[in-house]
A = this chain, B = another copy of it.
Amino acid sequence: MSDGRKRRLSGCPIDYALDFFGDRWTLLVIRDLLFGGKRHFKELMESPERIASNILTARLKKLEERGLIERRSDPDNRKQVIYTLTDKGRDLAPVLVEMVRWGGRHDPNSLCPKSVVTRLTRDNERLLADMRAGMADAVRTVKARARR
């Protein structure tokens, strides 16, 4: 069912959206590409949620087939592959932002700074830039925590 060929869609945009990312991993990959400044398989593997390599491969394949990301090999280093979001993929930013606001409001253990969460979505451009920076910090915190 992962390829969405068997289930018949209802016509509801939420059902359509879930057919793309109604699982535990896809939006984390998109988060990393959108806010984390990541482009390589290896970088995606290093996120704190520790996705398995076979799952990552499957998600990247599906996302490419369905037009949310593009895959090309790095001209400077032919053993690297560069993954980038398409417009359709980048368009998911507001969904992720609302998830951050929800999670940030309701998760007492969130590592995400309240300032990011409470800021209104109005100034989206600045917010996204801050999330990018804030995420690098959070990743550092998690790594430091893991070392202990």
Minimum C-beta distance from A61 to chain B (A): 19
Main secondary structure of the interface of A (DSSP, over half): helix
Contact: A11 with B110, CB < 8 Å?
A: yes
CB of A52 within 8 Å of the partner chain: no
Contact: B142 with A112, CB < 8 Å?
A: no
Contact: A102 with B92, CB < 8 Å?
A: yes
A12-53 residues at the B interface, CB under 8 angstroms: 12-18, 22-25, 27-28, 31, 47-49
A83-110 residues at the B interface, CB under 8 angstroms: 88, 91-92, 94-107, 109-110
Q: Please report A residues at the B interface, Cβ cutoff 8 Å.
A: 1, 9-18, 22-25, 27-28, 31, 47-49, 88, 91-92, 94-107, 109-112, 117, 135, 138, 141-142
Given contacts A24-B22, A24-B23, A95-B95, contact A102 B17 (CB under 8 A): yes
Q: List chain B residues, Cβ under 8 A from A99.
A: 13-14, 17-18, 95
Contact: A88 with B111, CB < 8 Å?
A: no
Residue of B at shortest CB range from A99? B17
Minimum C-beta distance from A46 to chain B (A): 12
Contact: A102 with B96, CB < 8 Å?
A: no
Contact: A95 with B102, CB < 8 Å?
A: yes
A-B pairs with beta carbons under 8 Å apart, 5 shown = A1-B24, A12-B49, A14-B31, A15-B103, A18-B27
